[in-house]
Amino acid sequence: MPSLALLSRRALLPLLAALLLTLGSALASAEQEAVAPPTIQQLGEQLQSRIADLRRIDDELQTAPARYQEPLEIRRDDRAFRALQDLEKLVQAVLALPADAADRQAGTEYVQQYLETAAERILQRVDTLGQRIDKGFDSLDELQGPERLQAEARVHSLQAKRFRYYSALVAVIEGIQSLQLPVQSLLDEVQPRLQLQAEALVGRMEFNGQVLRELRGRQPQQRDNADLNTAISTLSAQQKTDIANLTTMIALLERLQVPTQDYRATLVQQGQGLSLATLESGAITTLLQETWDSVRESLGTTAPNLVFNVVVFVLIVVTFYTLGRFAKRGVRATFERPGVRMSTLHKNTLISLTGGTVTLVGFLIALAQMGISLGPMLAGLGVAGFIVGFALQDTLGNFASGAMILIYRPFDVDDYVEVAGVAGFVKKMSLVSTTIATFDNQTLVVPNTKIWGDVIKNVTAQKVRRVDLKFGVSYGDDVPHVERVLREIVAAHEKILETPETNIRLHEMGDSSVNFIVRPWVRTEDYWDVYWDLTREVKVRFDAEGISIPFPQRDVHFYPATADAEAALDDARRDDEPG
């Protein structure tokens, strides 16, 4: 049975493979048939069908009631755009033919009549839409409320449709040019129309922009004025629509190789920002030229006084800045004289304050020379200082703590300190924070409030330090012998000071050892060398002298219980038992 099932499976595998190959071939063939491009004849027939639909709707519009006119026009425009898309496909199909083929010439002549007719019909439709748009704008002044909103939406819809027809017209012109057919007469008619639309948009945008700036200038004083806010909102919406329309018009003009740098400069002026197309079109050059002309005209009347004041301002600032640098050098030289004992923070602070004060005085004098009143400015600085001080309470707290460190000098640069839970050498000090480097070369920046609000331990403040060591020996060792060995070790070390005298005493009798203290005095920089040297030498000498260093130990004594004690324990147990 297993072998029969195996044979059945093996027989099915080739059958399934053949079936999959057949199915794949069928799908590939169907896909090739599905993506096969339509022929010129098929595209022409489809275009003829679209044109027939357009003519039918035109006939219906002639006899339809007024209420059906607008819906039928929407349907006609929809079919017109579809017909123009089919015409574009037909042009591409003709262009795909070889240039020297007989079908190419016949196809070009076949398409030419449709392109010329399409251009003529589009121009007629654009004119009709323009009349309806103008009529719609004229009627807006007579409407209010929802009716006005509906009328505005209808006008905007007609404008969008007109731009769509303009785009289709440009596509027709491009099709005629690609087929190398005469197009200059059509360009002479279309380009002025598009430029006129662009100029009208630019003029309206510039005028509305000036009005908007005027209204927004009034807004801070009249925030509750509903009419003012409505006017600003309406004009802003109109500006947004005009900017979008001008962007579309610029794209159409550029497709016809018409210069548009002036129009793109207007977009930049209206806050649309920069783009690659703006840079390539030369709009930035135009905008900069206009700005320079405006500045040059303004400078023509104010330049002499302005230049003189600027020169005087710069000279005063540079002079006092130089004096400030000389003042800093003089103060620094004074602090570096022998006998001047000040902390590094104190020196740096006074040096910086000296230079900054001289420069600030010069800057205020320069402002006064420019005609700027210092009274209101100082008052404004006072108010701003209060606000900033309230917002930066923690930072000001650090300044205050830094000032206290500056006055009392609990440590200085290169001192080894233990502050705010950290230990290390002080590398930098400021009025805000202190930078500490630990033994393993980590850099810690500690706010001064953390330091001044806690215990400050300056390990290196004194030039001489005492090394505290404790050594334990066995109870069986000779005490005088141990003291003699310890004194010899201390006397042999060259970095231990003779004064103050080293203190060696039997300090205590511990649980497991007799403990001696050794307390020599050394220079602060020799502390750890002496500490480690003595610890090592004591271990070596104790081993050589037969002095033992005991391990912690404990004696436990066991006493057998007596008969009376056992009887008392039994009585206590019975008393503890319940009821």
Contact 398, 431 (CB under 8 A): yes
Higher-pLDDT residue of 440 and 408 is: 440
Predicted confidence (pLDDT) at residue 183 exceeds the cutoff of 50: yes
The residue behind tokens 């079109």 is: 281
pLDDT on residue 20: 57
pTM recorded for the entire structure: 0.45
- Rounded distance between C-alpha atoms, residue 196 and residue 198, angstroms: 5
Q: 145-178 and 102-140 helices cross at what angle (nearest 10)?
A: 160
Q: How far apart are CA 262 and CA 259, in angstroms?
A: 8
**Which amino acid, 115?**
L
509-519 residue pLDDT tens: 988 899 999 99
Question: Tell me, what's the pLDDT at 352?
Answer: 81
Structure token digits, residue 151: 């009328």
Tell me the pLDDT band of 494, cut-offs 50, 70 and 90.
very high
Q: State mean pLDDT over 355-382.
A: 73
Residue 531 has pLDDT above 90, yes or no: yes
Tell me which of 414 and 307 has the higher pLDDT.
Answer: 414
Q: Using pLDDT thresholds of 50, 70 and 90, give the confidence band for residue 101.
A: confident
7, pLDDT greater than 50:
no
Q: Average pLDDT for residues 363-390, to the nearest whole number?
A: 67
**What's the rounded mean pLDDT across residues 315-340?**
82
Q: How far is residue 94's CA from residue 110's CA, in Å, rounded to a whole number?
A: 10
pLDDT at 579: 53
pLDDT band at residue 535 under the 50/70/90 scheme = very high
Q: How many CB atoms lie within 10 A of CB 345?
A: 23
pLDDT of res. 375: 63
Span 309-333, mean pLDDT? Answer: 85
Question: If you average pLDDT over residues 559-576, what whole number do you get?
Answer: 69
pLDDT band, residue 34 (cuts 50/70/90): very low
Nearest to 490 by CA among 526, 542, 463, 530: 530
* pLDDT score of 537: 94
Asked if the model's pLDDT at residue 493 lies above 70, the reply is: yes
Q: How confident is the model at residue 32 (pLDDT cuts 50, 70, 90)?
A: very low
Q: Average pLDDT of the chain?
A: 79
pLDDT of residue 336: 75
Q: In percent, how much of the chain has pLDDT > 70?
A: 80
Q: How many CB atoms lie within 10 A of CB 266?
A: 25
Q: d(Cα 145, Cα 148) in Å, to the nearest integer?
A: 6
Residue 15, pLDDT score:
47
Q: Yes or no: say if 81 and 164 are a contact pair by the CB < 8 Å rule.
A: yes
Percent of the chain with pLDDT over 90: 15
pLDDT number for residue 469: 95
The predicted model gives 303-313 an average pLDDT of: 75
Residue 496's φ and ψ, nearest 5 degrees, are: -85, 130
Name 90's Cβ contacts closer than 8 Å, sequence gap at least 6.
40, 43, 44, 47, 111, 114
pLDDT at 4: 36
More confident residue, 155 or 336: 155
Q: What is the pLDDT of residue 466?
A: 94
Res 471: pLDDT:
94
Secondary structure element (H or E) that encloses residue 19, with its range: helix 2-35
- The pLDDT tens digits for 140-170 are 778 777 888 888 888 888 888 888 888 888 8
Provide the 10 A C-beta neighbour count for residue 551. 9
Token digits of residue 97: 């033919």
